Homo-oligomer: A and B are copies of this chain.
């Protein structure tokens, strides 16, 4: 195997970000195999051709089934909306293609279960499947995980996680597809709450067992769009009903009994992309904020009493995760770098025959937590068990 020929299906915001990852990773890291941006797939022939030209894909195509059937394709990267993930991913895995699937793994637990099963079967044949919780590969987040694993915080006593944005504060923001359940599947909970859940489980290495929570919609009616479906569409006449949540507040209990508080909101005025976590243990604490993504806050309870404090570790040293490929110490990375790191780990996993995390099983576990939160919310916030099944292997 000399090259990995990649087909990417979908070409929205995530398409741009994944393209940047495929294009950049081999220029920055020494990969065992070089990925090749072979085909970009989308339904609108002209638009997808234009995107392929812009982003550097060799070809474009309109039928994903045809592309999956091609022998010269090794990897399928899925960045379509969630409702098509299961069908494409399962077909690709069965066709013997390695699959990278953007999160959420699927819009329903049933689909996610089928995907996880398909991934399990494919693994036997040496086929890899990975879900795109890219924030795991922000170097600071990887460092968080490593520090917890090294015992820097000791036993985890509690976790505080949230993901807050503010793009829905304006009540005149129109009723785009993302605010309609039939298209988006879920609102703040599934879109950004999923990241907070994955982060909490990934960083602590602990699975959530039960949840109790409330999901709500603050602005319930919004202006209808004249036409188009983008967020940028102009508001038309009349109002329609928002059918997804825009805020979710929930509490989780890990398998160890420790509690975690969660919040996902699109109404947190002034917070643009504030994915935050704080892990409190008996030896120390760690905190992170995606709006300041090159650093980690670390509190060491084993330091002399008069010298304890949260220290801001700039995660830009050569010894920090993924940093060897980039710039000298003190030179900041950005949001998109996680996509290059994702490509690196996927390519290495394929070359080494090892499943890179997060697996489809990990993605399924997040879906189950989301489902349990919704169930709890509809059930007067009663504590609800996260359904077990496929083990969350990589946790």
Q: Which A positions have Cβ atoms within 8 angstroms of B?
A: 13, 16-17, 19-20, 23-24, 27-28, 54-56, 143, 147, 152-153, 157-158, 160, 162, 165-167, 169-171, 212-214, 216, 218, 247, 249, 251, 258-259, 261, 263, 265, 267-270, 272-274, 278, 280-282, 284-285, 290-296, 298-301, 305-314, 316-317, 319-320, 327-337, 380-383
A sample of 4 more A-B contacts (CB under 8 A), given A261-B263, A334-B334, is: A27-B54, A166-B280, A171-B282, A331-B335
Residues from chain B with a CB closer than 8 A to the CB of A213 are 251
Asked if residues B27 and A306 are in contact (CB atoms below 8 Å), the reply is no
Chain B residues within an 8 Å CB radius of A316 = 272-273
- Give the chain B neighbours of A20 by CB distance below 8 A: 24, 27-28
Contacts of A309 in B (CB 8 A): 270, 295-296, 298, 311-314
CB nearest to A337 among chain B residues: B334
Question: Which residues from B are CB-within-8-Å of A265?
Answer: 158, 280
How long is the Cα–Cα vector from A335 to B282 in the complex, in angstroms?
28
Q: Which residues of B contact A312 (CB under 8 A)?
A: 309-312
**How many copies altogether?**
4
Once bound together, how far apart are the Cα atoms of A336 and B299, in whole Å? 27
State whether A27 touches B17 (Cβ < 8 A): no
User: Shortest beta-carbon distance, A297 to chain B, in Å?
Assistant: 8
Contact A332 B291 (CB under 8 A): yes
Complex: A213 Cα to B171 Cα, angstroms: 30
Q: Are A269 and B299 in contact (CB under 8 A)?
A: yes
Report A372 CB to chain B, min CB distance, Å: 13
Out of B169, B216, B295, B332, which one reaches A335, CB within 8 Å? B332
A273 touches B329 (CB 8 A): yes
A307 CB, nearest partner CB in chain B, Å:
6
